Amino acid sequence: MLNESLVQRVLQASLTYGGDFAEIFVENKIVQNISMVGGKVDKARSGRDYGIGIRIFNGVDYLYTYTNTDSEDHLIEIATLLSQTLKSGQSKNQTFRFQKQLVIPRHIPLIDPRVITTDKKKHILSEINHHAFAYHMAITQVKTGYYDETQQVLIANTEGVWAEDTRTRTRVFVEVIATEGNEKQRGYYAPGAQKGFEFYNEIDLRGVAEHASDIAVRMLESRPCPGGQMPVVIDHGFGGVIFHEACGHGMEATAVAKGKGPYAGKIGEKVVSEKITAIDDGTIPNEWGSLHFDDEGTPSHRNTLIEKGVLKGYLIDKLNGRRLGMKPTGSARRESYRFAPTSRMTNTYILPGKDRLEDMIANTEYGLYAKTMGGGSVNTTTGDFNFAVQEGYMIENGKLTYPVKGATLIGNGRQTMYDVDYVGSNFAPGQGMCGSISGSIPVNVGQPALRVSRLTVGGNNE
């Protein structure tokens, strides 16, 4: 990492031709990625990525550049050129002192994955592979993957921020194919955490394998899903991806500052069902999307987005905070030094209610139970979404009857959340990667089970 005197000189050079704010982001990331197919190594990659990003503000205008070279002459040269390109007017000789961010460590890795041999990491995948194939004779293909990263960051700016941190994350995935005749079905599971290699001493590897295998095997008996508008019960955990994609992105200042999305200018108004309270919390210890401070050096917060249906706030980064006249909320994130940061989610979830999953099903005469969600797409400006159901069952006369395939949930995020009439007391998070203009970042989605009183289900009407 760079020393303080060099960082100060680079930041001062960034304001040579004007501007009112400058920032430097230094990143050193060590990554290992291993994948296996059928218990044999398919790909193995490890490496280091190092770089430096420099950003300058002039009011609500900005410029950003990055480099892999950290020599003083080079950094001062590109900082000066960036300032000159901004053409903001009179130069400024700013003097400032750094104040180091003091944080309470919440995400300490107990076993550094960098000291673990590749063979031990491969053994994790071999064990999952073994349990998946042993689960059922219908399992015909198993793909497994291991990932860890150790990211060291330094963020400093002309407001005196000096923040350093080491972020360690690890994740494993299993994808299973079950086959019966010409029928093939897929099961997938990918738990992760902001932990070291101790994560694999804490999770049940057999349970990971059997979770994905069970989905694939059960879906072999599925029938084509009936289509139409009906009540839908969405189970806890990764079902929260609908709120994340269809609602959460609309609460990011990236969209709101431009006046776009269904939540712009709606603070204090009822925007969803009064049963919904939604939180984005980057402070939860060891969670996949957590941070001690964001990628602008602002400490992470527990931000209430919606309280009992009423919009309470947005997720705000420094630049869009200027545009909105609001303070940052610790929500600025980026994939790496190659991206300028912007407002993004961390761990976003709907708080549990008091209803029971059994009652939601029992009080549904005819509808769909979406136990496990798959992938999908969303228009973040309008909130319109289309999500696949990985594991689903029909509800008839208040009981689960048969598994269905080909089910998709189609709707609008805000309207869907308006139509929630039950919120369960159970809760589970789900780990994923979220892509946006500042790259792909780790996020948690989560929710209790909930029922949407009416939602369009895409399927086969025959």
In sequence order, what DSSP letters do the residues of 336-385 get, joined into one string? STTS--EE--SEEEEPP-SB-HHHHHHT-SEEEEEEEEEEEEE-TTT-EE
Is 113-152+164-221 in the same CATH topology as 4-30+47-100? no
What number is the average pLDDT over the span 33-53? 96
pLDDT tens digit sequence for 395-454: 999 999 999 999 999 999 889 999 999 999 999 999 999 999 999 999 999 999 999 999
Q: How many CA atoms lie within 13 A of 414 on its CB side?
A: 18
pLDDT tens digit sequence for 370-395: 999 988 888 877 889 999 999 999 99
CATH topology of domain 113-152+164-221: PmbA/TldD fold (3.30.2290)
- What value, to the nearest 5°, has the Cα angle with vertex 170 and ends 164 and 173? 155
Phi, psi of 374 (to 5 degrees): -110, -150
CATH class given for the domain over 4-30+47-100: alpha beta
pTM over cut 0.85: yes
Q: Which of 341, 439, 339, 295 is nearest to 66 (CA)?
A: 339
pLDDT tens digit sequence for 218-247: 999 999 999 999 999 999 988 888 899 889
Tokens of 95: 């003097």
Inter-residue contact 23 to 15 (CB < 8 Å): no
pLDDT of 25 over the 50 cut: yes
Tokens of 326: 């609001």
Which letter does DSSP use for residue 248 in this model? G
Domain ranges of the chain: 4-30+47-100, 113-152+164-221, 224-458
pLDDT tens digit sequence for 287-305: 999 999 999 999 999 999 9
